[in-house]
Amino acid sequence: MNPVFNTITYEVSERIASITLNRPEKRNALNFVVVKELKEALVVAESSPDVKVIILKANGKAFCSGADLEYVVRLQEYGYDENLIDSTHLMELYQKIYRMGKVVIAQIQGHALAGGCGLVTVCDFSFSVPEAKFGYTEVHIGFIPAIVMVFLIRKIGEARAKEMLLTGDLVSAHKAHSIGIINDVLPIETIENDVRNFALKLCKENSGASMELTKKMMADVQDLPIDDALLFAAKMNARSRATEDCRRGMSNFLQKLPLEW
């Protein structure tokens, strides 16, 4: 039985877990409860043997407008320690998506702003409709895009990240694609099927163990000196050879047998 949440929905079909932001009346804005439930849903998906790929999407006109304004008002009454607890809560969500062993795909049907654009940034793949806008707008209200900055610099480089973070400007889906924030722009009429077909392709054609180890290595290797990085790569190479997926894949390859994961 799928878990039941208040601010999101969770369902599994054909080894794909769909996690859907479900506060359309609030433009799927983030607050403590939404972040908590997203983290819980990701833990369920990661631990489930019936799930291989995760799609993160939303109901309504907006994908995610960032922090809930009512929530922001309450945060102004917090002291440093309370704010640190809250910001760590959001950090843990971004970190979970970025580092978890299963692939996470963002399906963006509307604007992704501030913290919502942060969600897009940390997903492994992101596909958007042409009508969506993207932006890290925190500087416009005297705030800083602190947590997402760590991931965005990795994703698109310092120069592009400065352009997005220091201006706070909104950009089109096509611009977001051109600078590497998202992977592709898809028609609104077909994005649901296109993203699902992409997820099914990953499920059927790729080893889950291989994708998990590849994600781990990409997250860890970038900060290592070249010699340490190569040693780490050699160890990961050896580790992958010991997996059951590798044994099965090699065996089928050598015997020229069809293979569907």
Q: How far apart, in whole angstroms, are the C-alpha atoms of residue 87 and residue 146?
A: 10
Residues 39, 94, single domain; the answer is yes
Residue 1 has pLDDT above 80, yes or no: no
The CATH number of the domain holding residue 118 is 3.90.226.10
Residues 66, 16, single domain; the answer is yes
pLDDT tens readout for residues 182-218: 999 999 999 999 999 999 999 999 999 999 999 999 9
Residue 149 has pLDDT above 80, yes or no: yes
Instruction: State what percent of residues in the chain have pLDDT above 90.
Output: 81
pLDDT tens readout for residues 77-107: 889 998 899 899 999 999 999 999 999 999 9
138 is catalytic: yes
Residues 103, 218, single domain; the answer is no
Q: Which of 186, 203, 220 is the last residue of a domain?
A: 203
Residues 22, 119, single domain; the answer is yes
- Nearest 5°: the CA angle 241, 99, 168 is 140
Q: Give the confidence band of 41 by pLDDT, cuts at 50, 70, 90.
A: very high
Residues 98, 218, single domain; the answer is no
The whole-number pLDDT of residue 247 equals: 86
DSSP the chain: -----SSEEEEEETTEEEEEE--GGGTT-B-HHHHHHHHHHHHHHHH-TT-SEEEEEESSS-SB-SB-HHHHHHHTT--HHHHHHHHHHHHHHHHHHHHSSSEEEEEE-S-EETHHHHHHHHSSEEEE-TT-EEE--GGGGT---HHHHHHHHHHH-HHHHHHHHHH---EEHHHHHHTTSSSEE--TTTHHHHHHHHHHHHHHHS-HHHHHHHHHHHHHHTTS-HHHHHHHHHHHHHHHHTSHHHHHHHHHHHTT-----
The whole-number pLDDT of residue 253 equals: 81
Residues 37, 161, single domain; the answer is yes
| Environment class of 80 (CB within 10 Å of its CB; exposed 0-12, middle 13-18, buried 19+) | exposed
> Is residue 248 included in any domain, yes or no?
yes
Average pLDDT (175-182) is 98
Residue 55 has pLDDT above 90, yes or no: yes
Residues 132, 220, single domain; the answer is no
Instruction: State what percent of residues in the chain have pLDDT above 70.
Output: 100
> Is residue 193 included in any domain, yes or no?
yes
Q: Which of 180, 203, 226 is the last residue of a domain?
A: 203
The whole-number pLDDT of residue 100 equals: 96
Residues 56, 123, single domain; the answer is yes
Average pLDDT (155-169) is 97
The whole-number pLDDT of residue 177 equals: 98
Residues 26, 137, single domain; the answer is yes
Residue 49 has pLDDT above 90, yes or no: yes
The whole-number pLDDT of residue 225 equals: 95
Residues 107, 134, single domain; the answer is yes
Residue of 82, 92, 138, 205 marked catalytic: 138
The whole-number pLDDT of residue 75 equals: 78
The whole-number pLDDT of residue 242 equals: 87
The mean of the pLDDT values for the chain is: 94
The count of domains in the chain is 2
Residue 21 has pLDDT above 90, yes or no: yes
Range of the domain at 117: 8-203
Q: Which of 181, 203, 225 is the last residue of a domain?
A: 203
